[in-house]
Structure 1
Amino acid sequence: MRSAFQFSHLSAGFIAVLVGYTSSAAIIFQAAAAAGASQAEISSWMWALGLGMGATCIGFSLRYREPIITAWSTPGAALLVTALAGVPMSEAIGVFLFSSGLILLCGVTGWFDRIMQLVPAGLAAGMLGGVLLTFGLDLFASAQTQPWLIGAMLVTYLALRRRLPRYVIPLSLLAGLAIAWGTDLLHFEQLSWQLARPVLMTPSFSVGSIIGIGIPLFMVTMASQNVPGIAVLRAHGYYTKASPLISWTGITGLLLAPFGGFAFNLAAISAAVCMGKEVDADAGQRYKAGVWAGVVYLLMGLFGATVVGLFAALPQELVMGIAGLALLGTIGSSLVVAMSNEQERDAALMTFMVTASGVALLGIGSAFWGLVVGGTVHWLNVRASARAVKREA
């Protein structure tokens, strides 16, 4: 019983969900509002997303015995905020179905697995480090506005990270909550709890919406979410084939799109929280953190829109601080892997820098472009090495 319900697993799962919701839940509300959603329909969106992420997290983690975390597509939601303006809700649902269908097709054909086999480990680690770097920087940037809050969390982390590695993150969170409570930074006065109810929304299909919104939604979900998601798994030594995971996220999207589940994909940033040594010294037991993340996702979905009020009650610095602390170890290990192979070092460094820059082109995030630039440098280096060998022969 103690082995099945360790607090470090529960806390990692909770923090993973905390990071995911606080970083982008407000964007989901904006996207739904852009399509003219009512309060009941917005609540249904959150219900569908929570249910889908919860079911896939629990299912994947138990099936593969790995901490496989799913999420909604944050860049996809950002795309929808502007793209859905003036688009009827029925067409929006049609777009979601189309995009999820493409994701399913990409999974069942095995295209995604074959592409990921071509990505060197150094480049994948460099991309992961670039994706997570912002969170590490935000930890210290938050100290400008709340020095006592961040200071208490950081001191707790440094003092206990070697003595109590499994519990250092939740204890740091408790230290932050104590300071926030003592300085009146917690605001639960207007928080009310109510269960969400699913609303079935009938789809309609428009060629313009499918081409102008559906294809970009598919592209940003695959390039900016699923590619980093697989990279996180690989960087932590988990090698489950990507195709079944991608396929099931597509199926989940097809089932829940009529209720507002616009896109499901593998998580990267929140997933990394469940994969460090702080979660469990035994990598084979960290899947339990993924199960707990799924349970928390299900609870979040049941309460729908109320979730945003809960996270709004916490100071932003607290959320940014605990996310940064939880990811420090992963940032360090990813940089070690990225720089370890001298032949891949230039390409990995370029991947890291482009990804960390946050540049977005053609509606696709920096993680994808980091791989493109790093992959190009790697290809050029391989060709140059081959030519040098040929000349010497």
Structure 2
Amino acid sequence: MPAARPSFQSFSAGLLAAIVGFASSFAIVIQGLNATGATPAEATSGLMALSISMGLCAVVASLWTKIPVSIAWSTPGAALLASAGAVDGGFAAAVGAFVVCAVLIILAGLIRPFGRAVAAIPSPLANAMLAGVLFGLCLAPVRAVGEMPVYALAVILTWAVAVRFARLYAVPLAMVVTFGIAFLTGGSLSLAETPLISKPIVILPVFTFEAFVSIALPLFIVTMASQNIPGIAVLRAFGYQPNSSSLFTLSGVFSLLSAPFGGHAVNLAAITAAMCAGEDAHKDPAARYWAAVFAGVIYVLFGLFAGLVMALVAATPGILIEAVAGLALLGALAFSIGEATKEAETRDSAIITFAITASGVSFFGVSGAFWGLLAGGAFMALMRFRKQT
């Protein structure tokens, strides 16, 4: 049987997947890294490390398995970082949490009972925690209208029209308009001082209990529940039979490699996975993995020029960048709320998890995401105990 060959169709699908995957969520990643205390240079390094890691991971996984394995950075994880904020120890402690999260992902792939235990976390609670994390970020477009009404409304209108006619391009187009506003309003863009190829920065990790509970554990849970497990489901929906354990392990290894440079986590993709696994990628399902390979190569190129992206962001009003990030997360928020409250039996537990997580409160230095999951789980256990007695 002749080997499956790449085609222009698979290249174009991979190019589109990479552009959509990068442009639709890099603002969220930058916001998350900044919130945990990263300097502009460290945030650039993190963005670079994530993009290169997910690109190389996609190339390795797709060529190895001969199926279209799309990889992305953890967008829900970045949103979690933005809501959790800085911890004692600064960004070095956050990097320590990234390392721990990567090790947990590797263990979830290597130790099947551990992986099954993660998958056994009640879906309503995991989705409620994610919804609580996303909620504050999704208010950013409203805040932007209050601070910069004309410009913010221009960004929102662009996004809304694009959602109606070309949904995949909605966030990238909103970002283009945002950068255009920065130029028109005299944004201080200085490309002369920006190196053409970005330079990675090594951040020595610091391991603290606060960062472990506030960042590492919630980051691991949302990455597994909201990205890795759905990513496997998308591939299976297109008729592929991926080995979930080996793919989880591989994504954990590349997460571990990116962590010392400021990258929080990479994982299996869902939306871009559908773009690379569908008929638009290639007529022959056996050849569609080339689309994921091409997407991976383009992600690596994006990573090398991450400094240019950061220069554009630095020249743009921060509230507008936050607004675009909030618009990008509205779909995820709606889906998470719907999944969290779908079943009447677990609805109260999910709402408790959502309310505590969204409140943004912290106790003993531990963020609300952990306490929300803990409280929702305890209430769910209590309700089930009452029914048994």
Does the pair score TM above 0.5?
yes
- Partner of 1:391 in structure 2? none
Summarize the alignment of residues 89-168 of structure 1 with structure 2, pairs less than 5 Å apart.
104-105=106-107, 107-110=109-112, 112-168=114-170
Summarize the alignment of residues 1-393 of structure 1 with structure 2, pairs less than 5 Å apart.
1-2=8-9, 4-5=11-12, 9-26=17-34, 30=38, 48=49, 50-56=51-57, 59=60, 65=68, 68-71=71-74, 75=81, 78-79=86-87, 81-82=89-90, 104-105=106-107, 107-110=109-112, 112-185=114-187, 187-188=189-190, 191-196=193-198, 213=207, 220-233=214-227, 238=234, 243-252=245-254, 255=257, 260-261=260-261, 264-266=264-266, 274=271, 298-299=300-301, 301-303=303-305, 308-387=310-389
1:120: Cα distance to partner?
A: 2.0
Q: What is the CA–CA distance in structure 1 between the aligned matches of 2:279 and 2:388, rounded to whole Å?
A: 38
1:314: Cα distance to partner?
A: 2.2
Partner amino acid, structure 2, of 1:56: C
Q: What is the CA–CA distance in structure 1 between the aligned matches of 2:353 and 2:215, rounded to whole Å?
A: 19
Aligned in 2, Cα 1:61/1:338: closer, same or farther, shift over 3 Å? farther
Of the structure 1 ranges 229-238 and 125-134, higher mean CA displacement relative to structure 2 is found in 229-238
- Partner of 2:239 in structure 1? none
Contact 1:224–1:364 under 8 Å retained in 2: no
TM-score, normalised with respect to structure 2 = 0.71
Q: What is the CA–CA distance in structure 1 between the aligned matches of 2:175 and 2:91, rounded to whole Å?
A: 37
1:9: Cα distance to partner?
A: 3.0
Return 5+ residue gaps in structure 1 as ranges.
Answer: 33-38, 86-91, 204-208, 388-393
1:227: Cα distance to partner?
A: 0.5
In the TM superposition, what whole-angstrom CA distance separates every residue of 1:225-248 from its partner, at most 9, and x where no partner exists?
120112223578558787545533
Aligned in 2, Cα 1:4/1:134: closer, same or farther, shift over 3 Å? farther
Return 5+ residue gaps in structure 2 as ranges.
Answer: 1-7, 237-241, 282-287
Contact 1:347–1:377 under 8 Å retained in 2: yes
Aligned in 2, Cα 1:275/1:80: closer, same or farther, shift over 3 Å? farther
Partner amino acid, structure 1, of 2:17: H
In the TM superposition, what whole-angstrom CA distance separates every residue of 1:168-207 from its partner, at most 9, and x where no partner exists?
3333333333333333346346542243456889x9xxxx
How big is the alpha-carbon RMSD for the aligned residues of Structure 1 and Structure 2?
4.7
1:115: Cα distance to partner?
A: 2.4
1:251: Cα distance to partner?
A: 2.8
Aligned residues with identical type, % of pairs: 28
1:11: Cα distance to partner?
A: 4.0
Contact 2:68–2:292 under 8 Å retained in 1: no
Aligned in 2, Cα 1:293/1:159: closer, same or farther, shift over 3 Å? same
Aligned in 2, Cα 1:301/1:121: closer, same or farther, shift over 3 Å? same
Q: What is the CA–CA distance in structure 2 between the aligned matches of 1:276 and 1:250, rounded to whole Å?
A: 18
Q: What is the CA–CA distance in structure 2 between the aligned matches of 1:197 and 1:98, rounded to whole Å?
A: 24
Aligned in 2, Cα 1:113/1:153: closer, same or farther, shift over 3 Å? same
Aligned in 2, Cα 1:308/1:112: closer, same or farther, shift over 3 Å? farther
Report the secondary structure of 1:166's partner residue: helix
Contact 2:195–2:307 under 8 Å retained in 1: no
Contact 2:73–2:266 under 8 Å retained in 1: yes
In the TM superposition, what whole-angstrom CA distance separates every residue of 1:342-371 from its partner, at most 9, and x where no partner exists?
001001111111221223345543333222
Q: What is the CA–CA distance in structure 2 between the aligned matches of 1:256 and 1:13, rounded to whole Å?
A: 18
Partner amino acid, structure 1, of 2:261: G
Aligned in 2, Cα 1:53/1:78: closer, same or farther, shift over 3 Å? farther
In the TM superposition, what whole-angstrom CA distance separates every residue of 1:255-305 from its partner, at most 9, and x where no partner exists?
567xx336653469xx78x4799x899799899998788556534543466
Aligned in 2, Cα 1:334/1:256: closer, same or farther, shift over 3 Å? closer
Report the secondary structure of 1:69's partner residue: strand
1:137: Cα distance to partner?
A: 0.3
In the TM superposition, what whole-angstrom CA distance separates every residue of 1:115-158 from its partner, at most 9, and x where no partner exists?
22322222222122112112210111111222112101222333
TM-score, normalised with respect to structure 1 = 0.70
